[in-house]
Amino acid sequence: MNRIVIGRYIPGNSFLYRMDPRTKLIAMILLMVGVFLIQSFLHMFVALALVTLILVFGRLSVKRVYLGLRPLVFLLMFTFLFQVLFNRQGELLYSLALHYTILNLSLAFMVVLLWGFTKRFIRFRLLYFLGAVVGIFALLHSISFGVVLGEGTFAVYEQGLSTAFFIMVRLIIIITLSTILTITTKPTDLNLGLESILRPLRVLRINAEEIAMIIAISLRYIPTLLEEANKIMLAQASRGVDFQEGKLKDKVIQVVSLLVPMFIISFQRSDDLANAMEARSFVPGQERTRLHILRWSKLDTVALACTSLALAGVVLLRVVGW
Amino acid sequence: MAIKFERVSFQYRGVDDKGYLALADINLSIAAQGEFITLIGETGSGKSTLAQHMNALLAPTEGRVHIFGVKLTSDKKKNRKQRLNPIRQRVGLVFQFPEYQLFEETVLKDIIFGPKNFGVPHEEALERAKKMIQIVGLDESYLERSPFNLSGGEKKRVSIAGILAMEPEILILDEPTSGLDPMGRNALLKVFYDIHEKLGKTVMIITHDMDTVYEYAKRVLVLREGALVYDGEPPGLFSRKHVEDWNLELPEILRIQRALEERFGIRLEKNPTSRKELIEALGEVVM
């Protein structure tokens, strides 16, 4: 659990921590929009470098953010492969003839099985997976004798490759930006900032305070409910539920024996909480005083100016068409 | 010995790898039959953690726990190789607030859930359910009701019946009487005592109620900040020194007995542990 970096606040004291949560939220959105407008490789690399600079100057460990990206490696790889394989526009860069014969299809199947069984013993799983994929392609290409079921080609096109690159770098930048936000901002501050930003929506009869309250309460109750779930799991385990093993039918009962009590507990908790809030004179929609008040500083103005400039620059580049 | 703790320590892992020591160097053994034990200690002293070690829900981070021949150590891989589920049938653990573990449509289904998990045939499980629902002081009409429409006390009884129906050899109860009215509390304690007396089983109760300790227990364990500081008979526990050092509350009967001695100079022949015995002893003196 401790390795998950996304969504976790890590105490520190760089300029990123001193910024107002509102600034950070707005800056993040501006930068994200900017990243989507970029269209050339060079500019993309510049953007990546800028984000890395923010990390360095904000004294956040690059390694830590990289670790946060790790759970998403699979998603990134998937989008990359998907684009490369199925986007067939632009110039043809590379093609490989594939033969589907009974022999090599069954060999490929065996490679998949072998990979499935041995992957848990290998340290560099990603590399191992790539090796397996390359191996399958090599198999399909080189063995062409026997009963041939069909022919195909593996082709890489220019457009496919560049789209894949853009999507991947954009995703990396977006995730890094949001990780910066959550690492440097306490959930409560983030919530306060969100509430403050959403306040103008009152014109549309959307109550930002309520939304913020809902978010705050859900964040607050995640650990509590996890703890309750753990208790119930132990209680059911002592009634002979083996959460580690069991057939499919047993699994269903295991889940039900956990979920039903969890539902009941959540409803009870929310009922209790509602009563406790009312007992302290909480009235939805009513004006409230605050313990923490957000303060706008010079730093925020500078930060916002910089990000606005960056966005303006990107827009300009796009309009001019460099 | 059915359960044996050898130099057991347990540390909860914190967020920053700063652990919280819940149990510290505990040595303890509990027989499979004939014991009636109460476990007391302040909140956070490790009582529930200790109880969870006794049916292999937790494994020690140091030392060894033997439960019916199964050895648990800090080696997780070795622990996992052993079959722990049978232990949980032999050592029944009733959690604090057991009413939260109910999930079936009817009380009957919930009671037979445990036994059936341990491979008891359906027919026999039904019979046990009928027997146990009466033992915990409810009648058979409850079996067809939904467990969610019961009162708090009734839910508690139903969930205790669910553990009893597993027919464990050792029964451990984590504050089974909290939230019950005095009548219900006494009735339930009587049930546990009967299980101990008539079936000869070992029963361990975690409690804050010194009257329970004094009246029923043959052996009392005291935990303070994770360490086992007392393991012996209840009368020895309530010596002046212990009461002061550990901030204990005196049981009602003992308070009356001491007051009688101090104010009226009445010395009772033997130490009564229940109201009935007190009245009898007082009767002998007065007569």
ipTM: 0.86
Helix/strand/coil for A9: coil
- pLDDT band with cut points at 50, 70 and 90 for residue A172: confident
pLDDT in tens, A210-240: 888 888 888 788 888 888 898 899 999 899 8
Least confident of B134-148, B201-215, B264-278: B264-278
Q: How confident is the model at residue A27 (pLDDT cuts 50, 70, 90)?
A: very high
- Chain A residues whose C-beta is within 8 A of a chain B C-beta are 2, 228, 231-232, 234-242, 244, 256-257, 259-261, 264-265
Q: How far is B110 from chain A (nearest CA, A)?
A: 10
Instruction: List residues in chain B touching A: CB distance below 8 A.
Output: 15, 52, 55, 57, 80, 85, 88-89, 92-93, 95, 98, 100-103, 113-114, 117-118, 148, 162-163, 166
Pick the closest to residue A222 from A171, A274, A187 (CA basis): A187
Task: Supply the pLDDT for residue B91.
Answer: 93
Contacts of B162 in chain A (CB under 8 A): 239
Q: Determine the residue of chain B that is closest to A232 in CA distance.
A: B101
Residue whose C-alpha is closest to residue A164's, from A28, A71, A62, A41: A41
Beta-carbon pairs below 8 A across chains A and B: 55
Best CA proximity match to B195, nearest among B214, B168, B231, B218: B168
Average pLDDT, chain A: 83
Say whether A295 sits in a helix, a strand or coil: coil
Min distance B276 CA to chain A CA atoms (Å): 37
What per-residue confidence (pLDDT) applies to B219? Answer: 93
For all residues of chain B together, what is the average pLDDT?
A: 88
Q: What is the Cα gyration radius of chain A?
A: 26
Q: Give the single-character DSSP code of B187.
A: H
* CA distances for B193 relative to A168, A183, B186, B213, B232, angstroms: 68, 55, 10, 12, 19
Of A232, A239, A256, the CB nearest to B114: A239
Rg (CA), chain B: 20
Q: How confident is the model at residue B14 (pLDDT cuts 50, 70, 90)?
A: low
Range of the domain at B175: 3-250
Q: Could A261 and B101 be called an inter-chain contact, meaning their C-beta atoms sit closer than 8 Å?
A: yes
CB-CB under 8 Å, B166 with A240: yes
How wide is the angle at C-alpha B38 spanned by C-alphas B37 and B40, nearest 5°? 150
Total domain count for chain B?
Answer: 1
The pLDDT-based confidence of A3 (bands split at 50, 70, 90) is very low
Confidence of residue B15 (pLDDT cuts 50, 70, 90): low
Question: Is the Cβ pair A240, B95 closer than 8 Å?
Answer: no
Beta bridge partners of residue B39, listed in sequence order: B206, B221
Domain range summary for chain A, segments of one domain joined by +: 88-157, 208-284
State how far Cα A203 lies from the chain centre: 32
Buried b (16+ CB within 10 A) or exposed e, A186-210: ebebbbbbbbbbeeeeeeeeebbbe
Which of chain B's residues have a Cβ under 8 Å away from the Cβ of A241? 117
For testing contact with chain B, the best of A238, A263, A264 (most B CBs within 10 A) = A238
Q: What is the DSSP letter of B25?
A: E
For A59-90, how does the pLDDT look when each residue is reduced to its tens digit (9 = 90+)?
887 777 777 777 777 788 888 888 887 777 77
CATH number for the domain spanning B63: value is: 3.40.50.300
**Alpha-carbon gap, residue A69 to A81, rounded angstroms:** 18
Highest-confidence segment of A161-165, B50-54, B265-269 = B50-54
In which band, very low, low, confident or very high, does the pLDDT at B174 lie, cut at 50, 70 and 90?
very high
Give contacts of B88 with chain A, Cβ < 8 Å.
237-240
Residue A1 confidence (pLDDT): 39
Kindly state whether residue B13 falls inside one of the protein's structural domains.
Answer: yes
Domain assignment present for B208: yes
Greatest mean pLDDT among A8-12, A124-128, A248-252, B136-140? B136-140
Is the predicted pLDDT of residue B36 greater than 90, yes or no?
yes
Give the DSSP H/E element, type plus range, for residue B204: strand B202-206
What pLDDT does residue A2 have?
43
Look at residue A5 and tell me whether its pLDDT is greater than 60. no
- Confidence tier at B249 by pLDDT (50, 70, 90): confident
Can you spell out the DSSP letters for A116-137?
A: HHHGGG-S-HHHHHHHHHHHHH
Inside any domain, residue B93: yes
Confidence at residue B151, expressed as pLDDT on a 0 to 100 scale: 86
pLDDT at B18: 65
Average the pLDDT over B148-155 and give the result: 88
